[in-house]
Amino acid sequence: MDATQFRQIPTLAPQWSAAVRALWYEGQGDWTTAHDQVQDDNSADGAWVHAYLHRVEGDQFNAAYWYRRAGRAVPAKNLALGDEWVQLVQALVKE
């Protein structure tokens, strides 16, 4: 499934992890619910999505913390948020 197809799914799937649910909500334009999904997710995937969400928010300091928790480097400043969202979908969404 590509990112466009994922964004167009009308409802959450029950088997999705918190990180994938957060990506779906972010794809629907609901940052707050997306953040709520990963707030208590201690997985590396959850931390990665959490980091991305703080990048979206503009909180680079908090984002850097969550990238470290995820074991990932902070993305280059020129990586567009939409491009990172697509990368996350490609990495985390399993059909």
Q: Which two tokens stand for residue 80?
A: 């567009």
Whether residue 85 is predicted with pLDDT greater than 70 in this model: the reply is yes
Q: Which residues contact 91 (CB under 8 A, 6 or more apart)?
A: none
Read off the pLDDT of residues 19-62 as tens digits, 9 standing for 90 and up.
999 999 999 999 999 999 999 999 999 999 999 999 999 999 99
pLDDT > 80? residue 95:
no
Taking the domains of the chain in order of start, what are their residue ranges? 3-92
Q: Which residues contact 46 (CB under 8 A, 6 or more apart)?
A: 17, 18, 19, 22, 38
Average pLDDT taken over every residue of the chain: 95
Q: Which CATH architecture has domain 3-92?
A: Alpha Horseshoe (1.25)
Mean pLDDT of 60-67: 96
